[in-house]
Structure 1
Amino acid sequence: MPADHHPSPLSGPSRDAGASAIEVRRSSRRRRTVSAYREGDRTVVLIPARMSEAEERRWVGVMLDKLAAQESRRRPGDSELAERAARLSAQYLGGRARPATVRWVTNQNTRWGSCTPAEGSIRLSHRLRGMPEYVVDYVLLHELAHLLVPGHGPDFWRLLEAYPRTERARGFLEGVVAAGRLPGPPDDGGE
């Protein structure tokens, strides 16, 4: 921990708040601002060192609420996903792709999305949550196109030509896959 960061009475090393731990870091350099971010399964809240314990508790609550609101905007639920699919189908496929269901799933770890044309169902991997919107839109549009054309032949790719960020989204996803295969940085034993 940097020299000017001091653990907070609330944090100990961290305290549990439901699914994620909270670490409060006090800084003598920080004068008025409070900020927070997610670091893996932990939430880090940065506060001024002079803040009282009562102010700290209040600000931790405020920042947790703020992060949750930001994440809910970035991570649409199933109903928002279905609305998004309808919008994408109308915009890029002439409204011809009409899925019966569109939902997030947690059991797809080797695919970004899947489609069962006979049932009209589309499933997107939970791993897409929090990725840029254009990437989620591309995967959703990809699965919508499968409702119209099975396989990945020329007719299928012609449907996706209308989406201007197809190549960019594919490159992003390829980068995510490649990064997952890379070894982490060597552990030099200190920092």
Structure 2
Amino acid sequence: MTAAPADGWSRGTGNPPVEVRRSARRRRTVSADLRDGVVIVSIPAHFSAAQEREWVHRMVSKLQSKHSQTPRHADGDGTTGPTDELLQRAAGLSREYLQGRGQPLKIGWVRNQNSRWASATPSRRTIRLSHKLQGMPDWVVDYVILHEMAHLIEPSHNRSFWRLLEAYPQTETAKAFLAGAAFAANHGLVGR
């Protein structure tokens, strides 16, 4: 994986090609990534042709705006706090479980992620971790970091993605822990 994949916007050659991927597992969300010079737009399988056109236009415009206005090296992802420690932690996890792949260029804590534990931007190789993970067991945070690094290799939650996480022995336990934490938070339960 290259640090900054070439794309039509940065080369000034116009818009890169677009590939639409429909997913039966996707219900409402739409996402777009720039990979190897191709815009990948993922949409729910039930979208009509008109909805597909509308969302492709929206997402391509959004990516084009982001790529033409923001330099690749600019910070603008809202990460806070020292990231050197997190970069070292990610590098160690990558070596141990991902054969050195999926290492982020930037990883940090954010306070604006309330409905997710973390997120990754493959085109920028960045990872944002919710501040709500702070204080959780290390093996849970390690799983979340590995999960997001796996997205830097494979953006979709497909078989290839989940195979990347098989080497981590705490994957299923960490997923259960996070599900329990989310349930408790959503139902106002407080630990004693």
> Normalising by the residue count of structure 2, what TM-score does the alignment of the two structures yield?
0.55
Residue 155 of structure 2 corresponds to 150
Q: Using the TM superposition, give the Cα deviation of residue 183 of structure 1 relative to its aligned residue in structure 2, in angstroms.
A: 4.5
Matched, 1:86 2:91: yes
Cα offset for 1:86?
0.4
The answer to whether the aligner puts 1:121 opposite 2:126 as a matched pair is yes
> Counterpart in 1 of 2:167?
162
Counterpart residue number, 2:146: 141
Structure 1 distance, partners of 2:184, 2:129, is: 20
What whole-Å deviation, never above 9, does each CA across 1:139-176 have from its counterpart, x for those lacking one?
00000000100110000000000000001100110001
2:102 maps to which residue?
A: 97
Structure having the higher Rg? 1
Does the C-alpha gap of structure 1 residues 183 and 155 become closer, same or farther in structure 2, counting only changes over 3 Å? same
Query: 3-state DSSP class of the match of 2:127?
Result: strand
* 1:133 CA drift (Å): 0.2
User: Which residues of structure 2 form unaligned runs of 5+?
Assistant: 1-80
Aligned counterpart in structure 1 of residue 180 of structure 2, from 160, 169, 175: 175
Secondary structure at 1:139 match in 2: helix
Alpha-carbon distance between aligned partners in 1 of 2:186 and 2:106, rounded to the nearest angstrom? 32
Q: Name stretches of at least 5 consecutive residues in structure 1 with no aligned partner.
A: 1-75, 186-191
Q: Which amino acid aligns with 2:179?
A: E
Paired amino acid for 2:146: L
What amino acid is aligned across from residue 180 of structure 2 in structure 1? Answer: G
Shift of 1:184: 5.1
Residue 184 to residue 117, structure 1, CA distance change in 2 (3 Å)? closer
1:98 partner letter: Q
Aligned ranges 1:29-40 → 2 under 5 Å: none
Paired letter, 1:148: I
State the percentage of identical aligned residues. 55
Aligned residue-pair number: 110
| CA deviation map 1:94-142 (0-9, x unaligned) | 0011211011111100010100000010110000001000000000000
- In the alignment, residue 132 of structure 2 is paired with which amino acid? R
Which residue, 112, 117, 123 being the options, matches 1:112? 117
Instruction: Calculate the TM-score normalised by the size of structure 1.
Output: 0.55
Question: Aligned partners of 1:181 and 1:110: how far apart in 2?
Answer: 10
| Shift >2 Å, 4+ stretches | 181-185
Comparing both structures, which one devotes a greater share of its residues to strand? 1
